[in-house]
Amino acid sequence: VEKREQRRPMSPKTIDPAIDVCDIPLPVLVDQIKSHDVRDEDPKGDKSLGLFIGTPNGNLRVAAKDGNADLAKASIGEGADIRHREGNDKRSCYDIANLSAQDHLRKANISQREERDRHARIAQGCQNVINYLQSIAQKKLIEAIQEGRPDRVVSYRLV
């Protein structure tokens, strides 16, 4: 058996632009899309409803924490914005409801019977608020896509 090294034929010394050259695309700089602008929120959300009643955005946060779906629906009807974020942690109402549901489920597993039922009810209420917020966010997300509003698309996706 003869061992011979097979070599590829060498390419021609001239460059054929149709084969040997390709265009390298230049990077395109795109501004980062901001996820949320407070000025874009519904101004009715921060308007006080009365001395002891609070604001729609504040009431929605309370509803999310307490698992009160009726208060959540009423708050949104009064102008609460589901994208609203408040405080140092900048959590949305969806985040608050989700954390509250997890907390109450954990408490339901370690509490006595009466407490267990109460925590389970609150956790279920938080889940109802979460479902309601998700359904609104989905509708608003579709509207934002149709309107060509990337800032709203990002902010509703984060709800």
Task: For residues 31 and 123, give the distance between their C-alpha atoms in angstroms, rounded to a whole number.
Answer: 40
- The token pair at 18 is 């149709």
Q: State percent of the chain over pLDDT 70.
A: 69
* pTM of the entire predicted model: 0.68
Query: In angstroms, rounded to a whole number, what is the distance separating the alpha carbons of residues 127 and 66?
Result: 11
pLDDT for residue 47: 63
How much is the pLDDT for 144? 86
Give residues with Cβ within 8 angstroms of 12, minimum separation 6.
none
3-state secondary structure 119-156: HHHHHHHHHHHHHHHHHHHHHHHHHHHHHCCHHHHHHH
Give per-residue pLDDT as tens, 102-132. Answer: 999 999 888 788 888 999 999 999 999 999 9
List the chain residues with pLDDT less than 70: 1-22, 28-52
**Which architecture characterizes domain 39-133 according to CATH?**
Alpha Horseshoe (1.25)
Domain spans of the chain?
39-133
